[in-house]
Structure 1
């Protein structure tokens, strides 16, 4: 029977599929670290109080990239190039979601609207990250090889999501509510499509590595498309709601060190 647990176990048990999985994850986290570091350096003076939290966010993402690379190193594996069709961050950028890398490379202050776009994009993508890591913790939180790593990353992703909720609510109270809601909706509808495309691409690569029979690959692809249809029908709205989190000031301190793997 196909299940998320059995699929991830299959990926974990094979060096080549595990290598690709960790490489994709490390690359995405490292990109996120760079993006947040640049945003922190470019925030407008009116939002300067956000810079330390954005810096902390970026430091966490960098740490996650190092954790995934360390997991590879424990097996004596090297990262592999990330297939472009599996690059979640860049595919979102091509759809005009978030702040373009060309914009972040310029030494030019961001506007308040740019920061709203960044936080809205982060609120949507951190929802996905939080859900995905919670699933991995449920299945592999006690795993001797990856358990500590997935628990720490899951904790951080929950902090990132809480931070996005809190800061967006603060900015909404300052008069930016309509812009935030419009941007959240655009980001969410783009994200569910990109997540579908990336999931299909990753599944295709894993299927070739693990030599899945065509029926299994077709069933998985059908499941991914069914999830997208469900999200497109209304489930995407979970990504745009805002509520004051239980974790207040979640990124108010220094980043926690990576665990000893």
Structure 2
């Protein structure tokens, strides 16, 4: 039976597919760490109170990258180059979503509008990350090799999502509601396309590594397209809703150590 659990178990059990999975994940987390670090350094004066939380977000992303690399080392594996068609972060930026890296490389303060763009982009992508890690946690929280890492990363992603909700609601109350709603919708519709394309690319690479049959690959592609149709018809709306989270000030403290998870 083809299920999320059986699919990931197959990827986990095979060295080449596991190398690719961890390499893609580590690269994306490291990129997110760099982006958040630069944004924290460039936050405008009127939003300086937000800088420590953005920095904490970046520290968490860096930690996740180290965790995935540590999982590889435990298996005696080295990272592999990330195929360009699986680079979620790069493809989102290329589509004009979030803050451009050229802007982040300049030592010029951001605007409050840039902060809105950053938080809206993060709210959408952290929804995806939170859901994906919750799925892994549901099936592999007790796994002897990856269980602790999955639990820690899943909790962090939930904290990131809660922080985005809280800060966007604060900015909406300060008069930025229209810009937030518009930016969230644009980000969500772009993200579901990129997620579909990256999912298809990752499954193609995994299929070659694992020797999947043409029929199995076609079934997985059909499933990915079906998810995209659902999201395009209305599922994307879950990514743009805002509600005050139960976890208030979720990024108000220091990041936890990566060593605790591996």
Whether TM-score is above 0.5 comes out as: yes
Residues in 1 aligned to 2:155 and 2:235: alpha-carbon distance in whole angstroms: 24
Q: Secondary structure at the match of 1:202?
A: helix
Q: Which residue of 1 aligns with 2:234?
A: 234
Q: Which residue of 1 aligns with 2:3?
A: 3
Residues in 2 aligned to 1:168 and 1:229: alpha-carbon distance in whole angstroms: 28
**Unaligned residue ranges in structure 2 (runs of 5+):** none
CA deviation after TM superposition for structure 1 residue 257, in Å: 1.1
Q: Which residue of 2 aligns with 1:177?
A: 177
Question: Is the contact between residue 162 and residue 248 of structure 2 (CA under 8 Å) also seen in structure 1?
Answer: yes
Q: Which residue of 1 aligns with 2:77?
A: 77
**What per-residue deviation string (whole Å, max 9, x for no partner) do you get for residues 40-68 of structure 1?**
00000010000000000000000000000
Q: Which residue of 1 aligns with 2:222?
A: 222
Q: Which residue of 2 aligns with 1:59?
A: 59
Q: How does 1:19-34 map to 2 (within 5 A)?
A: 19-34=19-34
Q: Secondary structure at the match of 2:155?
A: helix
Q: Secondary structure at the match of 2:33?
A: helix
Question: Is the contact between residue 67 and residue 261 of structure 2 (CA under 8 Å) also seen in structure 1?
Answer: no
Residues in 2 aligned to 1:40 and 1:98: alpha-carbon distance in whole angstroms: 15
Q: Which residue of 1 aligns with 2:133?
A: 133
Are residue 142 (structure 1) and residue 131 (structure 2) matched? no
Q: Which residue of 2 aligns with 1:186?
A: 186
Over the aligned positions, Cα root-mean-square deviation in angstroms equals: 0.5
In the comparison of the two structures, how many residue pairs are matched? 261
CA deviation after TM superposition for structure 1 residue 153, in Å: 0.1
Question: Is the contact between residue 24 and residue 87 of structure 2 (CA under 8 Å) also seen in structure 1?
Answer: yes
Q: Which residue of 2 aligns with 1:165?
A: 165
Residues in 2 aligned to 1:139 and 1:203: alpha-carbon distance in whole angstroms: 19
